[in-house]
Structure 1
Amino acid sequence: MLAGIAQHGYVLIASQLRGTPGSEGKDEFGGADTLDVISCIPALAQLPKADTSRLGLYGISWGGLNALQLLRSERYIRAAIVNSGVLGALAALQRPDGEGFK
């Protein structure tokens, strides 16, 4: 999927959300962990072919949930592809620790 997007001339950058397998920190399920995605933007600005005035998101599962959270708050994001964001939201509501959404 991502290779196909890149073949159309888009610059891609990916974050490893905190708390997911192999990463540090605590997953806040759409809370402050959305900052992990936002923190990628300065790195994008350093790439000559990246147009940070036209940003899009692609999120799978919890990443889809984060994409939806970012669409609510960040006006500079122009497009999003969300894969299973609703399922991620349902799973967050059913978390045994009661954390759910922030």
Structure 2
Amino acid sequence: MNDLRQIFIDRLVKKGADPSSLPGILRALSKILSANPDIDPVAATEKLSYLGWKEIEVDYHLLQLALAYFESEDPQSSERFSQNDSRRQAMRLRDVSTPPETLNEFDNS
């Protein structure tokens, strides 16, 4: 769990978070994700910006790390973050699957 926390914190800092602001940012992200676990990255960025965290740009991977981190922090309330787990799984598959012709572009052999 500490590794997940550290990866999540590192990603937040890489995406523009000020380390001294992390407690507030974590609280804001937790509330955003508990209200809507299926939120898209653009909407999450807009909500954080509205709350005053304009320096952070949320991407898909940051959202997935945040969900995993918040679920692991409080296992009893993990249902708040997984209202529609099948949709999240489908999003993961969609983002990971790459058409074969795209893979050939990277083949150097």
Report the TM-score when normalising by structure 1: 0.29
Higher fraction of helix: 2
Structure with bigger gyration radius: 2
Higher relative contact order (CA 8 A, sep 6+): 2
Higher fraction of strand: 1
